[in-house]
A and B are shown apart, each in its own frame.
Chain A
Amino acid sequence: MIEGAIWRRWVFFYVPLTSFIVLLLFPFYWMVITTIRPDGELYRPWNSIKYNPFWTWHPTLDHIRDLLTQTLFMTWMLNTMIIALSATAISLFCGLLAGYALSRLRFPFAGSLGTAIFITYLVPQTLLFIPLADIIRNFRLGDSPWALILTYPTFLIPFCTWLMMGYFKSIPKELEECARIDGATRWKAMLYIIFPIAVPGILSAGIFAFTLSWNEFLYALVFLSSPEEKTVPVGVTSELIRGDVFYWGELMAGALLGSIPVAFVYSFFVEHYVASVTGSVKG
């Protein structure tokens, strides 16, 4: 808290904080208000007398109904959920084991291997999708969820590995040594001691991986083509923008409903997540 005179508190605390919150939340507000606004208000020209973009007196659920009935939105949601969960599970599993190995086991080139994995994360997706498209075609995986379930880990595994590596390094190695003297094999020590302690780290890696795959756009756009195979971000933008016609209400309803699972995941794990970012185990 800012000490001193009241004006200082206002200038350095309340005003900046409020403007930050307003700036941050405005897009969400816009999304919500556009979703529930009837078309008549949405397409009213800006110079009309009744023009009022920030509020509506006639809220409606029409757009949501249209989205759910006129488009394949629920299929897209299901696709996205399956793809995001599978990709996250694969990446977490690999990242956990790789992170553990790189931070704990002594083997030649452990350090440079860690760096190499990180470098693969730095290769831009916009370049990587070209060779990947070739691979997907050769394996005949195009236009199926497998195209994404198997390609998302290319950027999620390095990410999870690095996050977990850092977290494992913060856990005193004596805990594991003690477990091994106590009678646990390395595998058991990992399973019963290290992984339970690393839960906050695992959760935050999971949340990040899930969000990244949920929101991913480029691979989904390139590798999937049939409407019933699409994910939410691609489905909403490709099916609700037709030429130069934007179905704003349905678009925003799609964005709103599409962000609910992610928001849910975040709020559910937020405490663990914060714990993993702000600190770890004390000896």
Chain B
Amino acid sequence: MAEVVLQNLNKNFDEVYAVKDVNLSIRDKEFMVLVGPSGCGKTTTLRMVAGLESISSGRILIDDKVINELAPMDRDIAMVFQNYALYPHMSVYDNMAFGLKMRKFDRADIAQRVQEAAEILGMQDLLKRKPRQLSGGQRQRVALGRAIVRHPQVFLFDEPLSNLDAKLRVQMRVELKKLHDRLGTTAIYVTHDQVEAMTLGDRVVVMRDGLVQQVGEPLELYNEPANRFVAGFLGSPSMNFATVVTHQTDGALWAEDEGIRIKVSGQTAGRLGRYAGQQVTMGIRPEDLHVATEADPAELGFDATVEVVEKLGSEILLDVAVGPHTMVASVEPNVRINVRDRLRLALNPERLHFFDAESEAVI
């Protein structure tokens, strides 16, 4: 059980920064997910914690102890790799026992720990097999088993589910979550999949170009993104963006562009006030749009032409054209809509996001 702290962590290859000034405090027993597009520095950060990558500057602490110079084996961590990294010449048992053997545990203790881990993961029957005789999901379990037999202070996961097919991935995601609840070991999990990040993480770190964009609980990130990148990265389908011009008319604040004229009210209007007359980026999530009814005020909607209808069963996704913009709206599954229909979409004013056009920070 341990707390992991990253302080001003940097990794640069000559002039290029892979990780820049990362400050994170991962609490004891927390499941922290690092998420971002490829090349954002999340894996490099993880590898620095593991000791597989040297640290250019900054410090990493596990339980208040600086581990910068410690060899990977002395950090008391376990890592699960994307390609599982099972030792192909060893049986499942030996794969799991390897770490314990290296640490000179006695035989009985090893056998007991491996049995225990095999039971937790439901793979007692597989212990004698070689990795090549296992399916993808089973290999994944062995990799997990190898990590948990050691009872390490911290688990590190480097995209462990990305080699599995979609169905298995969902299943293993649930198992991972259960496993973490059961073991309560601090975990750092790297993924590029925002769904994994949202479902698994106690907290999520969104990274881009080596920089931390935002840290927070999944819903906090979803509902209150710190900038346009985070807003667009989390959520599927992703947030709709439109560049609008704001201006004060008749004592109210309006956000306008071709095809869009929306009245901004309440706190949002207060924050947006100083941008009056300027261009800003407006963001609205697909599920915050709905087909307008009589009850919806005219100033909170816009006309749209349906271009594509995607019926997903639980919802319908409409790709619509609003003036020059294309947007996606998620509407009730019982709505009858055809391609090229013209309709009016209304939005939830509480759920509007505005971002600075230049810095992309939330307003």
Contact = CB atoms under 8 A, between A and B. Distances in A.
A and B from one complex: yes
A193 B87 contact: yes
A261 to B, nearest CB: 29
A174 B81 contact: yes
Contact size range, B? 20 to 34
B37 interface: no
Interface in B41-91: 50-52, 71-73, 75, 77-79, 81-85, 87-89
A172 B83 contact: yes
B84 A283 contact: yes
Interface residues of A, number: 20
Interface string B102-126: 1100000000000000000000000
Contacts of B302: none
B136 to A, nearest CB: 11
B98 interface: yes
Contact of B72 (A177, A192, A196, A283): A177
A175 B51 CA distance: 15
Contact of B102 (A174, A182, A196): A182
Question: Is chain A's interface secondary structure helix, strand, loop, or mixed overall?
Answer: helix
B79 A178 contact: yes
Interface string B123-135: 0000000001000
Q: Which has the most chain B C-beta neighbours within 10 Å: A174, A182, A283?
A: A182
B146 A182 contact: yes
A46 B192 CA distance: 80
B70 to A, nearest CB: 12
B150 interface: yes
A179 interface: yes
Contact of B98 (A177, A182, A197): A182
A185 B132 CA distance: 26
A282 B132 contact: yes
Q: Could you say which of B51, B85, B150 has the most chain A C-beta atoms within 10 Å of its C-beta?
A: B85
A114 to B, nearest CB: 21
B60 to A, nearest CB: 15
A116 B77 CA distance: 40
B85 A172 contact: yes
Contact of A184 (B83, B102, B132): B102
Most B C-beta atoms less than 10 A away, residue of A175, A177, A181, A184: A181
A188 B83 CA distance: 22
A181 B72 contact: yes
A180 interface: yes
Contacts of A192: 98
A23 B359 CA distance: 75
B99 interface: yes
Given A181-B75, A182-B98, A281-B88, 8 more contacts: A172-B83, A175-B87, A177-B79, A181-B73, A183-B150, A184-B98, A192-B98, A282-B132
The 4 closest A-B pairs by CB, nearest first: A183-B102, A182-B99, A283-B83, A174-B85
